[in-house]
Amino acid sequence: MRVRLTKSFAFEAAHDLPTFPANHKCRRLHGHSFRFDVIVEGDVEPAKGFLIDYGDIKIATEPILKRLDHYYLNEIPGLENPTSENLAKWIWDQLQPALPDLSAIIVHETCSSACEYRGP
Ligand SMILES: [Zn+2]
């Protein structure tokens, strides 16, 4: 049985987007209540009946949340241009070594805007 599990996380952070046009609103310093989904995919061993403990996803993700929550994202190495696209890849790169079954990261910058990254 193949399954995909999703666990969602949230953090608050500020950013500006230096590659947008000079008069674009995203060039100004502003903040978001970001959310992101960590999606893992794999085969369930029948004897176990589950793919991974959701708690293990949380343990793997907590160090990343600590680096993002209430920070100015542009100052974090690798996030000098913190678009949702780059943020999704950055989270993937941090998380994948601890979660080999990682399938996708979805960053929700607002309630209606999201970017999904499925790895290289
Ligand atoms: Zn923004």
Query: Could you report the average pLDDT of every consecutive run of 10 residues in the chain (120 residues)?
Result: 98 97 96 98 96 97 98 98 98 97 97 96
**What is the distance in A from the centroid of ligand 1 to the CA of 32?**
6
Q: What is the pTM of this model?
A: 0.96
**What is the distance in A from the centroid of ligand 1 to the CA of 4?**
29
Rounded to a whole number of angstroms, the CA Rg of the chain reads 16
**What is the distance in A from the centroid of ligand 1 to the CA of 18?**
11
Residue 55 has what pLDDT?
98
Tokens at residue 15, please? 């950013």
For residue 78, the surrounding DSSP H or E stretch is none
Residue 33 has what pLDDT?
97
**What is the distance in A from the centroid of ligand 1 to the CA of 52?**
33
- Size (the chain), residues: 120
Residue 35 has what pLDDT?
98
Name the residues annotated as catalytic.
26, 70, 109
